[in-house]
Amino acid sequence: MDTKPLSIPMDPNISFSKDDCPITPDEVARMRHVPYREAIGSLMYTSVGTHPDISFAVSTLSQFLDNPGQAHWEAMKRVFRYILGTKDWGLAFGERKEGLEGYTDADGASQEHRRAILGCAFLIDGGAVSWSSRKQELVTLSTAEAEYVAATHAAKEGIWLCNFIGEVFTPFTDPTTLYCNNQSAVAIATNGNFHARTKHINIHYHFICFVIENGSLTLVYCPTDDMTANILTKALPNSKAKHFAASLGLSRVPTQV
């Protein structure tokens, strides 16, 4: 491939919407022969298996499968150019002896569907073993609510991982730490800090309160600059993208001689 590699999978200064979709018959005809679905399938396989750093880009571009436009196709090619530049990266484990830990984050309603983007990642000894980037199923009324809902989904994934690892290896004796970068969401989950502005939250999102109370999980505040799941909720500039990719355990794999 003779194209130039890029350092980030998605330009943080560009937003995508249905306004970028083809409207005229000529535009529709031009995009009809573009292998957009096939490209999404290839990228999805990569993001699920080895490249959590492209999960947000793939999730965003997947929203336009039915009617992709030229802008979406150019963004797709950008992701491939990023992969070209990071094809020798792999997930590494063991650099930090910290057991199982999780990170949860939610981006505000920055996209036209007005739903927050949920991002969560679980690491074992410094390497990611589970990650997710997708839009939430409801429109939340505040940042704290979006973060609280994201933490609940992350908690369910964390409990499943604990049970699975406990069956295969040795059961965990200590609570799993889940990091969240919103102090209001942490307060709601840990202190039962309910009030008029949160009473509308559906009861099944309060599952996280139960798992914290029974000692399965500990929710801890984490500053945004250290929030590993940040890369799963938005497009980031070069320095932050590299920092959080490394935090997920992605690093250059030594070339075999």
Torsion of CA 13, 250, 144, 158, to 10 degrees: 150
DSSP calls for the chain: --SPP-SSSS-TT----GGGS--SHHHHHHHHTS-HHHHHHHHHHHHHHT-GGGHHHHHHHGGGSSS--HHHHHHHHHHHHHHHHTTTEEE---SS---EEEEEEEE-S-STT-PPEEEEEEEETTEEEEEEEEE-SS--SSHHHHHHHHHHHHHHHHHHHHHHHHHHS----SPEEEEES-HHHHHHHHH----TTTTTS-GGGGHHHHHHHTTSEEEEE--GGG-GGGGGTS---HHHHHHHHHHTTEEEPPPP-
Task: Judge whether residue 123 has pLDDT over 80.
Answer: yes
Identify whether the C-beta of residue 90 lies closer than 8 Å to the C-beta of residue 253: yes
Contacts of 155 (CB under 8 A, 6+ apart): 178, 207, 208, 211, 217
Average pLDDT of span 216-243:
95
pLDDT given at position 243: 95
Mean pLDDT over each residue of the chain, to the nearest integer = 88
Specify the pLDDT at position 114.
77
The pLDDT of residue 98 is: 80
Across 222-241, average pLDDT:
95
Residue 257 has pLDDT above 50, yes or no: no
* Most confident among 40-49, 95-104, 164-173 (mean pLDDT): 40-49
Q: Is the pLDDT of residue 190 over 90?
A: no
Q: Sorting pLDDT into bands at 50, 70 and 90, what band is 207?
A: confident
Check whether 202 has a pLDDT greater than 60: no
Domain 91-251 has CATH 3.30.420.10: yes
Q: Which residue has the higher pLDDT, 230 or 137?
A: 230
Looking at residue 247, its pLDDT comes to: 94
Q: How many CB atoms lie within 10 A of CB 178?
A: 27
Determine contact, residues 71/20, Cβ cutoff 8 Å. Answer: yes
Range(s) within the chain of domains with CATH label 3.30.420.10: 91-251
Rounded Cα–Cα distance for residues 232 and 211 (Å): 24
For the ranges 179-183, 200-204, 230-234, which has the lowest average pLDDT? 200-204
Q: Reply yes or no on whether the pLDDT at 9 is more than 90.
A: yes
Percent of the chain, pLDDT > 70? 92
φ, ψ at 155 (rounded to 5°): -60, -40
User: pLDDT tens for residues 54-94?
Assistant: 999 999 999 999 999 999 999 999 999 999 999 999 998 87
